[in-house]
């Protein structure tokens, strides 16, 4: 059951990897996220070098986003103009991220930065989701429908270079979408994530896009960014392992479809509460690794190319 | 195994006439890494010829992998977090080192002799060091790391004598080995001095699909990356078609 990974240069149990892809795919289908934020740390726990883990997880995200995006596309849930504008920032962000990735690898701080980024990111997002879902559940129980906050017309409205986004029924400046795209592109290269859990809240709360196009547009944007990042990682860091990617993807797409079905049975707040708990658990595990005394303070890395 | 027996037989038949001679061979001269490679064993064998063959002699077998530049980092606690701080860079240390001997090294020869011949893990010296600090703890850490993952091994007493003069040892080649040229060295010691050395090259190489993929990833990274993306998209699309709910 062992298979040799030509780029990671190690043997893994392929059934285990397919199962891992399926498990993360299940969660991503259930919660509508790419799952990269879970996959990268899990691969690193298994002993895959973190550079290969980050670069290869992206393919898994591309594949699981693909099936979601296709069904959104069929019901016209993608704002291609918005996705295109965000992608302009996304490409720049990806380039910056891949460059930073190579730099950190040379400095030997790669693992630390990835771990710190994860702890901060997952810790804050998990906490927000936990509080929000608990508040909503409590409100339901006491029989009060939560009131929507009034639309804030803030700094996004004053910026120049306004553009009309027909599908989203918006007339806003292109600067915020470009900045969001840039941030997500950079994070995708450094952390091996699609960035769905950043794009979706940003689209809802900053750009104020209608919920009907948020899922589809973010998925389209994620596919484009992860595809570009995969190619860049392959050309500049030689860190993409196609065998590993194939195994993860096969498990992932099957798991995602099963997850979608399971997710349909749960209520939104329950889903978010569950996801918040998973996210916080991963964050806590990574934080522990940062502060716990290592078994050997010396570590070996292959010399940078 | 049949081939091995034949070679052993051949070795015995063409016994050389010199006074103190060592003949050795390796069961295979190339190790192919294939998709189900999880490590293998090679057999190093040989014969000692000479009048006083049986007394006071020791055999040391060393299998040394290709040299690999290595960077060792030391973590220190900074504001509660373990951060990589100091580093040392070594060149000229092997990626794989296996030593089998008839007795513990300290009983075969003196520390100085071993260092002179470059035999044993403690005799592994980098040819070049890039470090701002004392490199010795970093060198020790490198050896410790490789021992832990099974790439550096000293295995005294693991050489079997099949007869007075014929010996054999099994060398494990684990899954994590690097590709390249390896060297199998057989030393014959008598009274703490090397009296004969035999060296045989051994090649470790990926074969078939693994080799082509590795080469593709390095020689044509753009097409390789595009292939990964296409594969992911295609599988995503296929799954959405297969699992599409009947509307």
Instruction: Look up the ipTM and state it.
Output: 0.78
pLDDT for residue B53: 58
Residues 18-77 of B with CB under 8 A from A: 33-38, 68-76
The CATH number of residue B57's host domain is: 2.60.40.3880
> In a 10 Å sphere around its CB, with 0-12 CB exposed, 13-18 middle and 19+ buried, how is residue A148 labelled?
exposed
**DSSP summary character for residue B156:** E
In this structure, the answer to whether residues B230 and B195 fall within a common structural domain is no
Strand-pair partners of B204: B31, B180
Q: Is B217 on the interface with A (CB under 8 A)?
A: yes
Distance CA(B219)–CA(B7), nearest Å, equals 40
Q: Is B225 on the interface with A (CB under 8 A)?
A: yes
pLDDT for residue B79: 79
Of B210, B222, B244, the CB nearest to A6: B210
In this structure, the answer to whether residues B154 and B240 fall within a common structural domain is no
pLDDT for residue B18: 44
pLDDT for residue A302: 55
Q: Which residue has the tokens 């689209």?
A: A203
The CA-atom distances, in angstroms, between B168 and each of A124, B45, B60, B66, B149 are: 61, 4, 11, 24, 25
In this structure, the answer to whether residues B199 and B222 fall within a common structural domain is no
Residue A271, both tokens: 């889903």
Residue B133, both tokens: 């600090």
Chain A residue numbers with beta carbons less than 8 Å from the beta carbon of B225 are 230-235, 240
SS (H, E, C) chain A: CEEEECCCCEEEEHHHHHHHHHHHHHHHHHHCCCCHHHHHHHHHHHCCCHHHHHHHHHHHHHHHHHHHHHHHHHCCCCCHHHHHHHHHHHHHHHHHHHHHHHHHHHHCCHHHHHHHHHHHHHHHHHHHHHHHHHHHHHHHHCCCCCCCCCCCCCHHHHCCCEEEECCCCEEEECHHHHHHHHHHHHHHHHHCCCCHHHHHHHHHHHHCCCHHHHHHHHHHHHHHHHHHHHHHHHHHCCCCCHHHHHHHHHHHHHHHHHHHHHHCCCCHHHHHHHHHHHHHHHHHHHHHHHHCCCCCCEEEEECCC
Task: List the single best residue of B229, B244, B245 to mutate versus A (max A Cβ within 10 A).
Answer: B229
Interface contact B240-A11, CB threshold 8 A: no
Give strand ranges (E) for B119-179: 128-131, 152-156, 160-161, 166-173
pLDDT for residue A304: 40
The CA-atom distances, in angstroms, between B79 and each of A116, B82, B83 are: 13, 8, 9
The whole-number average pLDDT for the span B211-239 is: 87
Out of A44-48, A156-160, B218-222, least confident range: A156-160
The whole-number average pLDDT for the span A162-191 is: 83
Q: How confident is the model at residue A19 (pLDDT cuts 50, 70, 90)?
A: very high
The whole-number average pLDDT for the span B91-107 is: 90
Strand-pair partners of A15: none
In this structure, the answer to whether residues B156 and B225 fall within a common structural domain is no
Interface contact A63-B233, CB threshold 8 A: yes
The whole-number average pLDDT for the span A167-189 is: 84
In this structure, the answer to whether residues B155 and B233 fall within a common structural domain is no
Distance CA(B143)–CA(B146), nearest Å, equals 5
Question: Does residue A107 register a pLDDT over 80?
Answer: no
The whole-number average pLDDT for the span B155-168 is: 88
Note the pLDDT tens digit of each residue in B3-16: 555 555 444 444 44
Q: How confident is the model at residue B54 (pLDDT cuts 50, 70, 90)?
A: low
Distance CA(A299)–CA(A30), nearest Å, equals 38
The whole-number average pLDDT for the span A213-240 is: 86
In this structure, the answer to whether residues B197 and B239 fall within a common structural domain is no
Task: List the single best residue of A246, A249, A292, A300 to mutate versus B (max B Cβ within 10 A).
Answer: A300
Distance CA(A111)–CA(A300), nearest Å, equals 12
Residue spans per domain, chain A: 2-143+155-290
pLDDT for residue B231: 92
Question: Does residue A185 register a pLDDT over 50?
Answer: yes
Q: Which residue has the tokens 């992911």?
A: B232
Task: List the single best residue of B81, B225, B237 to mutate versus A (max A Cβ within 10 A).
Answer: B225
Residue A69, both tokens: 């995006």
In this structure, the answer to whether residues B84 and B141 fall within a common structural domain is yes
The CA-atom distances, in angstroms, between A17 and each of A22, A175, A179 are: 9, 40, 35
Distance CA(B73)–CA(B70), nearest Å, equals 10
Report the Cα A102 to chain-centroid distance in Å.
20
Q: Are A40 and A57 in contact (CB under 8 A)?
A: yes
Which has more pLDDT, B54 or B198? B198
Provide the edge-to-edge strand list for the sheet that holds B30-33.
Answer: B30-33, B193-206, B180-190, B57-64, B97-101, B152-156
- Computed over every residue of chain B, the mean pLDDT equals 82
pLDDT for residue B11: 47
Question: Does residue A120 register a pLDDT over 90?
Answer: no
In this structure, the answer to whether residues B227 and B118 fall within a common structural domain is no
Q: Are A67 and A255 in contact (CB under 8 A)?
A: no
pLDDT for residue A93: 92
A230's CB contacts (< 8 A; 6+ apart) are: A55, A58, A59, A62, A240, B225, B228, B229, B232
The whole-number average pLDDT for the span A213-222 is: 84
Chain A residue numbers with beta carbons less than 8 Å from the beta carbon of B206 are 4, 6
> Considering the entire predicted model, what is its pTM?
0.72
> In a 10 Å sphere around its CB, with 0-12 CB exposed, 13-18 middle and 19+ buried, how is residue A242 labelled?
buried
pLDDT for residue A131: 86
Question: Does residue A253 register a pLDDT over 80?
Answer: yes
Range of the domain at B181: 2-206
Question: Does residue B247 register a pLDDT over 60?
Answer: no
Q: Is B176 on the interface with A (CB under 8 A)?
A: yes
- Computed over every residue of chain A, the mean pLDDT equals 81
Of B75, B76, B225, the CB nearest to A299: B75
Question: Does residue B147 register a pLDDT over 60?
Answer: yes
- Domains of chain B: total: 2
The whole-number average pLDDT for the span B23-52 is: 83
Interface contact B229-A65, CB threshold 8 A: no
Of A116, A242, A300, the CB nearest to B227: A242
Note the pLDDT tens digit of each residue in A23-41: 988 888 777 777 788 888 8
CA–CA min distance A44, chain B (Å): 17
The whole-number average pLDDT for the span A145-174 is: 67
pLDDT for residue B245: 57
Distance CA(A65)–CA(B235), nearest Å, equals 11
Residue B94, both tokens: 């092997």
């Amino acid at each position: 059951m062992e298979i040799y990974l030509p780029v990671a240069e190690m043997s893994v149990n392929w059934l285990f990897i397919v199962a891992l892809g399926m498990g993360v795919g299940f969660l991503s289908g259930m919660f509508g996220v790419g799952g990269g934020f879970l996959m990268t740390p899990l691969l690193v726990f298994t002993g895959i070098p973190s550079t290969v883990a980050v670069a290869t997880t992206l393919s898994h995200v591309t594949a699981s986003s693909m099936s979601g995006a296709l069904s959104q596309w069929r019901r016209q849930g993608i704002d291609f103009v918005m996705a295109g504008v965000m992608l302009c920032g996304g490409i720049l962000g990806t380039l910056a991220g891949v460059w930073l990735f190579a730099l950190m690898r040379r400095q030997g701080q790669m693992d630390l930065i990835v771990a710190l980024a994860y702890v901060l990111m997952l810790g804050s997002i998990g906490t927000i989701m936990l509080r929000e879902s608990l508040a909503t559940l409590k409100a339901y129980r006491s029989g009060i429908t939560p009131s929507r906050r009034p639309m804030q017309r803030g700094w996004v409205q004053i910026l120049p270079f306004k553009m009309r986004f027909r599908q989203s029924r918006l007339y806003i400046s292109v600067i915020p979408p470009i900045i969001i795209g840039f941030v997500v592109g950079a994070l995708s290269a450094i952390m091996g994530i699609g960035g769905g859990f950043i794009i979706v809240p940003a689209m809802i709360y900053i750009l104020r896009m209608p919920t009907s196009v948020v899922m589809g547009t973010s998925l389209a944007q994620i596919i484009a960014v992860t595809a570009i990042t995969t190619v860049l990682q392959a050309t500049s860091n030689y860190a993409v392992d196609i065998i590993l990617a194939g195994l993860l993807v096969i498990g992932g797409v099957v798991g995602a479809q099963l997850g979608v079905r399971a997710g349909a049975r749960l209520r939104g707040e329950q889903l978010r509460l569950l996801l918040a708990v998973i996210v916080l658990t991963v964050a806590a595990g990574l934080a522990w690794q940062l502060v716990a005394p290592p078994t050997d303070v010396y570590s070996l890395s292959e010399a940078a190319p | 195994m049949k081939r091995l027996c034949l070679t052993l037989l051949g070795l015995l038949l063409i016994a050389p006439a010199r006074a103190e001679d060592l003949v050795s061979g390796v069961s295979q001269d190339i190790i192919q890494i294939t998709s189900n490679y999880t490590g293998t064993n090679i057999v190093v064998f040989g014969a000692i010829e000479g009048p006083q063959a049986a007394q006071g002699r020791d055999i040391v077998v060393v299998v040394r992998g290709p040299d690999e530049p290595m960077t060792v980092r030391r973590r220190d606690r900074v504001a509660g977090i373990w951060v990589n701080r100091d580093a040392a860079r070594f060149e000229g240390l092997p990626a794989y080192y296996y030593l089998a001997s008839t007795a513990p090294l300290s009983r075969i020869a003196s520390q100085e002799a071993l260092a002179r011949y470059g035999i044993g893990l403690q005799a592994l010296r980098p040819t070049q060091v890039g470090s701002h600090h004392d490199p010795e703890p970093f060198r020790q850490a490198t050896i410790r790391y490789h021992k832990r993952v099974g790439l550096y091994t000293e295995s005294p007493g693991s050489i079997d004598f099949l007869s007075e003069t014929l010996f054999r040892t099994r060398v494990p080649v684990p899954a994590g080995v690097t590709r390249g040229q390896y060297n199998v060295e057989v030393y014959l010691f008598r009274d703490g001095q090397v009296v004969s050395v035999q060296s045989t090259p051994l090649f470790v190489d990926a074969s078939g699909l693994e080799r082509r993929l590795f080469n593709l990833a390095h020689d044509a990274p753009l097409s390789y990356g595009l292939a990964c993306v296409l594969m992911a998209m295609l599988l995503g699309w296929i799954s959405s078609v297969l699992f599409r709910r009947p509307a």
